[in-house]
């Protein structure tokens, strides 16, 4: 090391000493909060003429375009513009409100978690992953709103209701205050229509008890009736928790079965990228490569430049189907999408091996050289050296 470098290193150590004695970050948080609050209070002060002209133009735009313009929504007290598919998480202390541009409101109670999965000019679809929510939808002609809760789909026109979803117990508690809704689910034959004042408590999970008193098909819906029609439809199925819990317990076959029962396609449609990746892992490790690739591809479509979906598809092509050229394409895609990703070494090693197995020695050698430059002691280093010699 040169004397210059020695000196600079000593300077850096001195800086660390200085920072220990006199950091300036103590006021950062308060200053930042003040700045953000000032911004929120600030309002543009347009000249009157411009305001009038803008208002007139806005009216024209509203009349002409409003019917086609998709709704928007703002999240939380700060009214941050919401994004489709971004998780909305309420902390233990505070609820989170979603205010839609048509006046509809979705209030997520503390500890709840939800996502807006789609939005257009007629309404939105909201997935409640956990917890309680109070929903108030403004009635509109051609309005179309849907709230997805576990296996249940609540189709809404204009109404006000509360839901409480316990994903561990797979249990929905629904209270309709105003209007009318239709609730559908794989375990609810023909769905259920509810009117104002009715409540609905249901689970599509198989009953633990061997002989539950089944509800009569088509029986009138009593307030807070405990409806468990799945007990008849899947009486032979074992008692299972949700597929996520089973996956966490490494029971991949059970998790895949639960996901199928829950509605695999529906999960593909509504699941977030991280859920889809886990679902793909579940299917792959349960020995169902087709389902695995379906889930990984869904994740890749939703967030092509994020996460490891391309790498995971490459794994399936390589390990299960031995289609090495396709595998190589996917590993290369991962490396292109995430040049600094956590699986780069593994992907490069697999890419090298895939080209080698596909009989593309020149390509395998080129990758091997790149691999040795980056990871001379990596787990594929022996193979790489063999290819470059």
Q: Which stretch binds other proteins (CB under 8 A): 152-160, 204-212, 213-221, 241-249?
A: 241-249
Name the residue nearer to other proteins (CB basis): 3 or 68: 3
Does position 357 interact with other proteins (CB under 8 A)? The reply is no
CA distance linking residue 380 with residue 126, whole number of Å: 45
Q: How far is the CB of 173 from other proteins (least distance, A)?
A: 19
CA distance linking residue 130 with residue 226, whole number of Å: 20
For strands 152-166 and 171-185, give the pairing: antiparallel
Name the residue nearer to other proteins (CB basis): 145 or 380: 380
Name the residue nearer to other proteins (CB basis): 74 or 366: 74
Residue 211 C-alpha from the chain's centroid: 37
**356 closest CA partner among 320, 321, 313, 385:** 385
Subset of 84-143 contacting other proteins (CB under 8 A)? 86-89, 91-94, 96, 111, 113, 130
CA distance linking residue 347 with residue 68, whole number of Å: 45
Count residues near other proteins (CB under 8 A). Answer: 78
C-alpha distance from residue 316 to each of 75, 281, 333 (Å): 39, 10, 14
Rg (CA), the chain: 28
- Start-to-end C-alpha separation, the chain: 34
Name the residue nearer to other proteins (CB basis): 27 or 211: 27
Q: Which stretch binds other proteins (CB under 8 A): 53-61, 206-214, 257-265, 338-346?
A: 338-346
Does position 72 interact with other proteins (CB under 8 A)? The reply is no
Does position 19 interact with other proteins (CB under 8 A)? The reply is yes
Helical ranges in the chain per DSSP H: 3-21, 28-41, 48-65, 230-233, 243-248, 252-270, 273-285, 289-302, 309-319, 324-337, 344-357, 361-374, 381-388
CA distance linking residue 170 with residue 191, whole number of Å: 17
Q: How far is the CB of 57 from other proteins (least distance, A)?
A: 28
**Could you tell me the two tokens for 3?**
């004397």
Subset of 191-230 contacting other proteins (CB under 8 A)? none
Name the residue nearer to other proteins (CB basis): 200 or 296: 296
Q: How far is the CB of 27 from other proteins (least distance, A)?
A: 7
- Among 135, 149, 247, 286, the residue binding other proteins under the rule CB under 8 A is 247
Subset of 35-54 contacting other proteins (CB under 8 A)? 35-36
Q: Which stretch binds other proteins (CB under 8 A): 181-189, 227-235, 242-250, 322-330?
A: 242-250
Does position 290 interact with other proteins (CB under 8 A)? The reply is no
């Amino acid at each position: 090391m040169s004397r210059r470098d020695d000196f600079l290193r000593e300077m850096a150590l001195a800086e660390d000493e200085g920072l220990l004695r006199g950091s300036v970050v103590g006021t950062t948080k308060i200053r930042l909060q003040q700045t953000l609050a000032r911004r929120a209070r600030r309002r543009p002060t347009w000249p009157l003429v411009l305001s009038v002209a803008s208002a007139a133009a806005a009216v024209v735009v509203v009349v002409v375009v409003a019917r086609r313009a998709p709704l928007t929504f703002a999240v939380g007290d700060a009214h941050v513009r919401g994004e489709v598919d971004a998780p909305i998480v309420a902390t233990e202390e505070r609820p989170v409100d979603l205010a839609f541009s048509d006046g509809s409101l979705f209030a997520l109670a503390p500890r709840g978690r939800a996502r807006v999965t789609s939005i257009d000019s007629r309404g939105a679809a909201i997935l409640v992953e956990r917890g309680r929510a109070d929903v108030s939808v403004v009635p509109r002609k051609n309005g179309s709103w849907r709230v997805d809760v576990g296996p249940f789909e609540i189709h809404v026109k204009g109404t006000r209701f509360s839901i409480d979803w316990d994903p561990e117990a797979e249990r929905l508690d629904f209270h309709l205050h105003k209007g009318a809704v239709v609730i559908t689910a794989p375990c609810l034959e023909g769905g259920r229509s509810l009117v104002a004042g009715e409540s609905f408590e249901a689970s599509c999970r198989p009953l633990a008890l061997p002989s539950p008193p089944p509800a009569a098909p088509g029986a009138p819906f009593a307030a807070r009736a405990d409806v468990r029609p799945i007990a008849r439809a899947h009486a032979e199925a074992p008692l299972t928790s949700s597929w996520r819990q089973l996956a966490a317990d490494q029971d991949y076959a059970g998790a895949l079965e639960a996901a199928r029962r829950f509605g695999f396609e529906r999960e593909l449609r509504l699941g977030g990228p991280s859920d889809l990746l886990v679902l793909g892992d579940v299917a792959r490790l349960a020995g169902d490569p087709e389902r695995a690739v379906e889930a990984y591809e869904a994740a890749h479509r939703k967030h092509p430049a994020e996460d490891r979906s391309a790498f995971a598809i490459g794994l399936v092509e390589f390990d299960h189907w031995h289609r090495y050229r396709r595998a190589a394409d996917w590993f290369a895609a991962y490396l292109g999408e995430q040049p600094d990703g956590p699986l780069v070494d593994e992907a490069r090693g697999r890419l090298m091996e895939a080209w080698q197995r596909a009989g593309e020695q020149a390509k395998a050698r080129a990758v091997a050289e790149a691999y040795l430059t980056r990871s001379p002691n990596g787990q594929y280093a022996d193979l790489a050296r063999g290819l470059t010699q």
